Amino acid sequence: MAGQSNHELSLFSAEELEFIAEDEIVDIVPNLKMGPLNFISGDFGPFTPQIVTQVPLWLAIALKKRGKCSIRPPLWMSVEKLSQVLEAERDSQEMSDQLPFHYVEISRLLFDHARDNIPDVYMVRSLIEDIRNVRFHKVETDLEAFNGRTIAVKIKNLSAMEVNIVRPFIGRALQAFYKHDSPELIPDPERVSDRRPQVVNNAPRRQLRR
């Protein structure tokens, strides 16, 4: 119980991931005139009609909702680019490095709030869906390759959402490997002192038996 809830502390919820992604910078084309905004999180603007400027995604969406700008989708969100990425993802077991860490959240936010600013939006959406699936399948295959020798895992180019999905699994699996594969550690007197919390520790073995 106590050990498990550590995971709770370390997991980012979907809302929190979205919150983090909302700080990514995008280009917008304002249609209003407004002086600079001196936020705690930084200075943005000034805003002049038809002059491209860079703002965080949350601000872009807020302006868009109020009808004050259009959003330029990031370069990777085009049919051409995404088709290349999909092909690359299918051709290799490696994860492509062409997409940003928060590609899932960014694209979802833009689909929800700026659909009319994305050329070929249906195609873009289905390409991203396909890419997600291919990538996720690869992650699963990678996980199968884990074994008891794995004490640290390098994960190249995994996105935030993918990380979140595999995190609980990898965390627990590595921990279990780590414990099972190091029986020599058990009698070590040094380790006795930093064993799991004892008050709450009456059924720790059960976890390992699964």
Partner 1 sequence: MASSSGAEGESLDDYDSLIATTDVELLKRAWRNEKAAPEILRFESHLISRVKEQIQLMEETVEEKSSGGNDPLSVSLYQMDLDRTLFLLRSYLRIRIQKIEKYMFHILKTEELWNRLSKDEKDFARTCSSDLNQHLEETVLSKLPENYQSVLKQSIISEEDDMVPEPQLDTFVLCRSKEYLTGIQLEDGPADDRQFSSKLFEMERGVLHFICYKSIKALVESGKLDLL
Partner 2 sequence: MYGRTACQLVKEFASGDKGQLVSFNSDLFQQVVAECSQHHLELQSLIRKIQEEGLDIQTARNADHYGALIHHLALVRNKRCLMAYVFNRAEIIRNLLWKIGHVLPQEIEEKLCHTEEEHFKKHSTALKSYMSKVMVDLTVDMVPPKDPYIKVRVLDDIGDGILLSDDKTANFACHSMHLLKRTDAEQFISRGQMEELTG
Binding region for partner 1 (CB under 8 A): 2-3, 5-6, 9-10, 12, 19-20, 23-26, 34, 37, 39-42, 58-59, 62-63, 66, 68, 74-76, 97-102, 148-158, 160, 163, 167, 170-171, 174-175, 178, 181-182, 185, 193-194, 196-200
Q: Does 209 bind partner 2 (CB under 8 A)?
A: no
- The CA radius of gyration of the chain, in Å to the nearest whole number, is 23
Rounded CA-CA distance 88/74 in Å is: 19
Identify residues 140-159 at the interface with partner 2 (CB under 8 A). Answer: none
- Residue 186 interacting partner from partner 2, partner 1, none (CB closer than 5 to 8 Å by kind): none
Amino acid at 185: L
- Residue 113 interacting partner from partner 2, partner 1, none (CB closer than 5 to 8 Å by kind): partner 2
Strand-pair category, 69-72 with 42-44: unpaired
Distances (CA, A) of 153 to 25, 139, 156, 171: 30, 12, 9, 10
Identify residues 12-31 at the interface with partner 2 (CB under 8 A). Answer: 13, 15-16, 18-19
Rounded CA-CA distance 139/19 in Å is: 24
Residue 36's contacts (CB-CB under 8 Å, 6 or more residues apart) are 43, 44, 45, 46
| Helix-helix angle 121-144:103-113, to 10 degrees | 160
CA nearest 180: which of 137, 151, 140? 151
Identify residues 87-116 at the interface with partner 2 (CB under 8 A). Answer: 111-116
The nearest distance, CB 119 to partner 1, in angstroms, is 18
State which residue, 2 or 25, has the beta carbon closest to partner 2.
2
Binding site for partner 2 (CB under 8 A): 1-2, 13, 15-16, 18-19, 58, 61-62, 65-66, 111-116, 198-203
